[in-house]
Amino acid sequence: MEEREGEVRWDGLCSRDAASRAAALDNIGQAVLRRSETIAPVAAVPLSRAADGPLVPAARDGLSEVLARLLMLSKRCPFPDVREKSEAILSRVQELGIRIPRPLGHGPSRFIPEKETIQVGNEDAMMHALFAESFATLGRLDNVTLVMVFHPQYLESFLKTQHYLLQMDGPLPLHYRHYIGIMAAARHQCSYLVNLHVNDFLHVGGDPKWLNGLENAPQKLQNLGELNKMLAHRPWLITKEHIEQLLKTEENSWSLAELIHAVVLLTHYHSLASFTFGCGISPEIDCEGGHTFRPPSVSNYCICDITNGYHGVDEIHASPTGSIPVSICPIKSTESVCEVEALMEKMKQLQECRDEEEASQEEMATRFEREKRESMFVCSSEDEESAPTRDVSRHFEDTSYGYKDFSRHGMHVPTFRVQDYSWEDHGYSLVNRLYPDVGQLLDEKFHIAYNLTYNTMAMHKDVDTSMLRRAIWNYIHCMFGIRYDDYDYGEINQLLDRSFKVYIKTVVCTPEKTTKRMYDSFWRQFEHSEKVHVNLLLVEARMQAELLYALRAITRYMT
């Protein structure tokens, strides 16, 4: 943030040391007030009149960006001293007669009421440690983190992996990593992630010209465009020839280690775009769409509204574990209660059928092919209102290239049998060999997402949800043509209804088309934390599916 002017420096706020943060806040406060006074010198105006009268816009000299950053810190910093001092600086600026920003929207998600999310400053000790770690690492506590924290065990693994991919020693330079993140997120028009990584790219010294379009980036990154679009939309088309093209391009060639790093980053951000749209993540407060300088229409508006953010903190109740908030006495319709009872009854019946008889291999194969074929006809009406996004198409080529089902116009794609190439037996060791420790981090994250359970379903406790979790994971892999020989795909139609399948397919294949109506229409009786849990399964199953196709092609190239 304008650090080149030498006036406002934010780095010290990430320190774990309170004295260092206090010194940084003093410097920030002095710099902001100096700028403010040059825009609106009000020495002769009584403070009460300056605050109540017409306010001066803050657009000059980069002040509006600084004030937006302070607004974000006053709401989202896990350190109370930073929140309070940021609020005080904003209050002083307003007293000088300058208009200050206020947040747009309510909370980190457009789909989840703010009162049902964790409020910063109201988190338990484990969550606070995660928030502090995230803030110290990234310089922000982003909305993805504030939604993922419904599941702290997963969030810890996610943050550790992302930190390693973006900031620790690795084959690719730091600015390449963020640019690849921008390329990947742009494939799904995910302006939320593009915005974050544009800022990070510039912060680590990236060339601003690259942001004018992929054609302005080095040829080496341009060459990655083809793999990016296939991984995002049609990973089953990736062959060893695509890998060979990247590795054998003379002066612009990739090393195997660099390519593995790039593939993991691409798949990470494709799947994170799915989470962003699937959970309706709101723009960050200090980014475009997250704040406004326009005065609100409500009368008697004051600084305390901005800095306190209309939070109904006392409306949050903790669960027995102290980690997952639930809404107070949610009123469930009779139909919704019947829906969850019916799902539990189906799970019980399927378990009994499993115990009694086992289908033949031929029948299992037939059921897979039927489910794969049927998944092609699961689609949403595309005229619904999805989240508005900035045009980010300059960050990738071939904007018309999108998701296509397997067997359009008689084209047939062979089934990918996990028994022939799996993450556990093949992908894991390849990644770990070429990019040490990352295979281990990814493996841990996959396992946490797949096995995560609180043994609850809506209002029911002590429920074994493994059958349902496996059905969700395997349905996603089925959409990508990936088959597990030991799984009965007949279970999927029993456990996942049409509205749920529409939501899953949209979030995984065309996340930018996800709407609040889709989110609301599946599992209507379940808690928001359970719907976020579903999204964690979608994220990790999608990432693993993309990785399997890319890593299999790399393995074939190497042999």
* Annotated domain spans of the chain: 1-39+59-103, 338-381+392-558
| pLDDT band at residue 32 using 50, 70 and 90 as cut-offs | very high
Q: How many angstroms separate the CA atoms of 68 and 83, rounded?
A: 13
Terminal-residue alpha carbon distance, the chain: 48
Backbone angles phi, psi at 103, to 5 degrees: -70, 145
- In this predicted structure, the answer to whether residue 73 has a pLDDT above a threshold of 80 is yes
pLDDT by residue (tens digit) across 208-231? 999 999 999 999 999 999 999 999
- pLDDT of residue 324 exceeding 60, the answer is no
Greatest Cα pair distance in the chain: 89
If one compares 79 and 361, the residue with the highest pLDDT of the two is: 79
Instruction: List, in sequence order, every residue forming a beta bridge with 98; answer none if it has no partner.
Output: 56
**Other CB atoms within 10 Å distance of the CB of residue 139:** 18
What are the distances in angstroms from CA 381 to CA 28, 378, 503? 49, 10, 11
SS3 528: helix
pLDDT score of 353? 79
Residue 415 has pLDDT above 50, yes or no: yes
Give yes or no for a contact between 90 and 70, defined as CB atoms under 8 angstroms apart. Answer: yes
Lowest mean pLDDT among 293-297, 441-445, 507-511: 293-297
Burial class (CB in 10 A: 0-12, 13-18, 19+), 445: buried
Say whether pLDDT at 326 is over 60: no
Say if residue 10's pLDDT is above 70: yes
Residue 176 or residue 4, greater confidence: 176
Ranked by mean pLDDT, which of 28-37, 100-109, 145-154, 379-388 comes out on top? Answer: 145-154
Q: What are the phi and psi torsion angles at 399 (to 5°)?
A: -70, -15
Strand partners, 482: 416
What was the pLDDT predicted at 503?
A: 96
Q: What's the pLDDT score for residue 61?
A: 61
pLDDT tops 80 at residue 558: yes
Residue 338's pLDDT band (boundaries 50, 70, 90)?
Answer: confident
Nearest to 534 by CA among 465, 462, 443: 465
Q: Taking Cα atoms as reference points, which of 263, 233, 235, 231 lies closest to residue 247? A: 263
Residues in Cβ contact with 478 at an 8 Å cutoff, skipping those fewer than 6 apart: 368, 371, 372, 375, 489, 492
Options 190, 279, 478, 509, the catalytic residue: 190
The tens digit of pLDDT for each residue in 107-148 reads 999 999 999 999 899 999 999 999 999 998 888 999 999 999
Asked whether the predicted pLDDT for residue 259 surpasses 90, the reply is yes
Active site residue 279: no
3-state secondary structure of 290: coil
Local confidence band at 368 (pLDDT 50, 70, 90 cut-offs) = confident
For the cut 80, the answer to whether the pLDDT of residue 311 exceeds it is: no
Average pLDDT in the 496-523 region?
A: 94
Cα gap 350→495, rounded to integer Å = 9
Count Cβ atoms within 10 A of the Cβ of residue 33 and give its class: 0-12 exposed, 13-18 middle, 19 or more buried.
middle
Q: How far is CA 31 from CA 26, 199, 256, in A?
A: 9, 21, 47
Determine contact, residues 235/481, Cβ cutoff 8 Å: no
Residue 335 has pLDDT above 70, yes or no: no
What's the CA gap between 189 and 381, in Å, rounded? 19
| Tokens encoding 489 | 């795909």
Could you tell me what percent of the chain has a pLDDT over 90? Answer: 63
Lowest mean pLDDT of 63-72, 107-116, 331-340, name the range: 331-340
Confidence bin at 296 (pLDDT 50/70/90): confident
Candidates 138, 141, 131; CA nearest to 108 is 141
Place of tokens 């060999």: 433
Looking at residue 354, what is its pLDDT? 75
Q: Which of 474, 532, 463, 528 is nearest to 501 (CA)?
A: 474
DSSP 262-283: HHHHHHHHHHHHHHHHHTTBPP
pLDDT band, residue 251 (cuts 50/70/90): confident
User: What is the residue-averaged pLDDT of the chain?
Assistant: 84
154-189 per-position pLDDT tens digit: 999 999 999 999 999 999 999 999 999 999 999 999
Residues 526-548, buried b or exposed e (16+ Cβ, 10 A)?
bbbbbbbbbbbbbbbbbbbbbbb
Buried b (16+ CB within 10 A) or exposed e, 453-486: ebebbbeeeebebebbbbbbbbbbbbbbbbbbee
How far, in Å, CA of 496 to CA of 512, rounded? 22
How far out from the chain centre does Cα 166 lie?
15
Lowest mean pLDDT among 75-84, 309-318, 379-388: 309-318
Q: What is the pLDDT of residue 401?
A: 57
Residue 30's nearest CA partner among 73, 74, 77, 89 is: 89
What per-residue confidence (pLDDT) applies to 327? 36
Q: Which of 61-70, 154-163, 267-276, 521-530 has the lowest mean pLDDT?
A: 61-70
Residues near 67 by Cβ (< 8 Å), separated by ≥ 6?
32, 58, 90, 93, 100, 101
Percent of the chain with pLDDT over 70: 80
Per the listing, tokens 């794969």 go with 372
pLDDT band at 352 (very low <50, low <70, confident <90, very high): confident
CB of 476 closer than 8 Å to CB of 449: no
Is 50 exceeded by the pLDDT of residue 46? no
User: If we measure between CA atoms, which residue out of 237, 465, 257, 490 comes closest to residue 358?
Assistant: 490
User: Given a cut of 80, is residue 451 above it in pLDDT?
Assistant: yes
Torsion of CA 191, 197, 201, 203, to 10 degrees: 110
